[in-house]
Structure 1
């Protein structure tokens, strides 16, 4: 069935998001300036610049010649489209650690894209080469971080890992068909992938299946290896770090029991009272330099009270669905208003002290 509720909610969020930066950006900038000016001292002259941290899955070391010592020799994926509408994934990863010792690998599987949520569940791991394959999972930003390995000891050379999991609510009902878009290997790998293969299996004949390889947004078509009535195979060679294979499938309507998509609540859930308080606070901050300023303690109290209101508004949503599920209600907007005024008071005292 066509998901009218999801479509309307998505349209409402898209229409409301452009209003959010204009009302909240000034508040966040003021608060950030205060925290930076109060907590961080100015950098000393001649001090060395900090080295940025490297984020990702497994950071690739370099050899003396500057070449990558690690790579993924083969990456085989089977995407099973179940009749119950659940996507069942089996990934077999042959990872070449070279001479560098590692505790294992980390795979990032998305559980959220935009306002869309996926249910990643039933995660299992193993290793056919005897490498430690203990699994630990953690939700990180928009992805489920699947760590495969062991804390005791390191592995070297070529090791094979198998990661299996299910993804519910991955299909999107459309007019006359159900659609699935899924990056089979992800773009979180920091090492090259020499050979990748993706097999798509379905309980009905596959007539509309495509695959694009490369960085996000790339349009390079994957090489179609073999076609069958119920399975299609794609292969790709020499993928660079952070390049993936995005598969798109169209199935006839009701071919699988696709569950309706799940969306996070709108980020902007406040009404006129909260919006008016936030706008009023911005006007008060603009007038502070021209009027007697409350004491510094008053500014700290207002900022603390506002932070408590924001925490109270976000607490239930964050506890239930994670950090990125929280939306801005009236209590959150009132808290931002108090934090804005408090930050403005602290800023004025700071500048006058100079």
Structure 2
């Protein structure tokens, strides 16, 4: 099976991330002061004084993005306008607006000078007028504004806000707090700002520090009739900014090309494997049952493989099995013994994990000994043995090859970034994805595969033997996961078989105990959660920015 579908999903995620502007490693905002004046005609003059510390990495200046809409429904946005934008720098940094763009209801300001990059702490004073900022939820006009947006990719320190208005009758301030637990679940909730209050003529808010991406919102309640209020305007929700016309037109073309490339290379590869396999014999090679079962089950350890290793340990004299006195349901004890017969790496790993400092164990203790690390070591040892038989590419060859191809794949995924760096093109979003699809698909199709033609041939022989198991040894049948009825029939043909292998109930208990441990070792948890009824990040304004 081709790697292409899985890799293309990774490309989407990687390019959505690489299309953003990332801050420097030590960037931060040391002061963020906002002054807003609400006029009687309903307009709001805003002045933001932002001290941004660029650290030692030079930057052309500051990027500021200010939303011009707010989602109020599935496809409905409340909109407002911004005018009279001006920027100065009290610290003396270049403060010209090199590019001012209003696209998809976001005003983007590229402040500074590409030819005169800055470092260290620089202060920028951004002023503008907002038309349509006020809203009314039934209790009179109010200004609900995100004075610090949730799109700043750096910590924000020293937040202060002052809002002047004809008559302030109330004020609230909230910021977003979050907690991520050990299972990866994240909970968000609102906390009141450290400073919040009003004196009738103005409202003031403040908070010492906000984490990266944490918004701070203030609600200023005004007396009815003191300001002119007009009903907010609404519009259809804008498309996400990463969807562009060029990207939408080019994407189907490159996806179709990648599809046909995938089909062509996959067919060529299968034909080549088929020709190679014509030279192999039809006799099943003499393989350890655990290795055969591991190969047949796609190189994932199962309880049946561990049982096959246990039988091999007993046959080589490294342990003995005895019925457990007073055991429940015919339990067995495995007693550690010394033997000069050499063990395979997988047998050695299982024996070391089973006994530890103990000389005898039962099934309950064995289940506890199957830790996540032990399971990984047994799987790796079985993989090594399979490589020695030519069934898979040996790990010492496989892992460096994967690392090298992974680096090339990363370069292919970053094709759009490389194109932007070497050409005057300014690819973003879908355009970057389209540029990366074909080179990524080409590299992905030739990623090293741990399969070998001989391994595929042996796996087919094992599948055929599983369908016609009359010639299989009982332990091999167990390792291949054959039904209990078939195993019982094969057991009857072998007089010296270990008694616990003839015990159907014990084998069921073994499979349940060991498989539960294996499944729990592979289980991961992830997710996120959020609190309800939050205020922070729900107002107008906000946005963010960072270094250019």
Shorter-normalised TM range: 0.5 to 0.7
Change (3 A) 1:257 1:46: closer
1:210 aligns with 2:172: yes
| Contiguous gaps of at least 5 residues in structure 1 | 1-40, 63-68, 268-321, 325-345
1:120/1:166 contact within 8 Å kept? yes
Deviations 1:315-335 (A, max 9, x none): xxxxxxx768xxxxxxxxxxx
1:176/1:252 contact within 8 Å kept? no
1:71 aligns with 2:28: yes
Alignment of 1:62-211 (within 5 A): 62=25, 69-114=26-71, 115-135=77-97, 136-204=99-167, 206-211=168-173
* Partner residue in 2 for 1:296: none
* Partner residue in 2 for 1:223: 194
| TM-fit CA distance, 1:85 | 0.3
* Partner residue in 1 for 2:227: 256
Greater alpha carbon shift after TM alignment, 228-237 vs 162-171: 228-237
| Contiguous gaps of at least 5 residues in structure 2 | 72-76, 179-187, 241-255, 268-548
TM-score by length of 2: 0.38
Change (3 A) 1:139 1:42: farther
1:58/1:106 contact within 8 Å kept? no
State how far apart, in whole Å, the 1-side matches of 2:57 and 2:31 are.
19
1:57/1:188 contact within 8 Å kept? no
State how far apart, in whole Å, the 1-side matches of 2:197 and 2:173 are.
13
- Report the number of matched residues: 231
State how far apart, in whole Å, the 1-side matches of 2:94 and 2:38 are.
30
| TM-fit CA distance, 1:42 | 7.9
| TM-fit CA distance, 1:253 | 2.1
* Partner residue in 1 for 2:207: 236
* Partner residue in 2 for 1:281: none
| TM-fit CA distance, 1:209 | 1.0
1:56/1:189 contact within 8 Å kept? no
Change (3 A) 1:158 1:56: farther
State how far apart, in whole Å, the 2-side matches of 1:222 and 1:122 are.
30
| TM-fit CA distance, 1:57 | 7.6
| TM-fit CA distance, 1:255 | 1.3
| TM-fit CA distance, 1:44 | 9.9
State how far apart, in whole Å, the 1-side matches of 2:94 and 2:41 are.
33
1:171/1:179 contact within 8 Å kept? yes
1:198/1:234 contact within 8 Å kept? yes
Question: SS of the residue aligned with 1:242?
Answer: coil
2:59/2:117 contact within 8 Å kept? yes
Change (3 A) 1:247 1:44: closer
State how far apart, in whole Å, the 1-side matches of 2:6 and 2:221 are.
60
Change (3 A) 1:46 1:110: closer
Q: CA RMSD in A?
A: 3.7
* Partner residue in 2 for 1:35: none
2:171/2:196 contact within 8 Å kept? no
Could you say which structure has the higher helix fraction?
2
Greater alpha carbon shift after TM alignment, 183-192 vs 223-232: 223-232
| TM-fit CA distance, 1:189 | 0.9
| TM-fit CA distance, 1:106 | 1.3
Question: SS of the residue aligned with 1:255?
Answer: coil
| TM-fit CA distance, 1:117 | 0.6
| TM-fit CA distance, 1:174 | 3.9
| TM-fit CA distance, 1:55 | 6.4
| TM-fit CA distance, 1:188 | 1.4
Change (3 A) 1:208 1:57: farther
* Partner residue in 1 for 2:499: none
RCO higher in structure (CA 8 A, sep ≥6): 2
**Greater Cα radius of gyration, structure 1 or 2:** 2
Question: SS of the residue aligned with 2:152?
Answer: coil
State how far apart, in whole Å, the 1-side matches of 2:217 and 2:6 are.
48
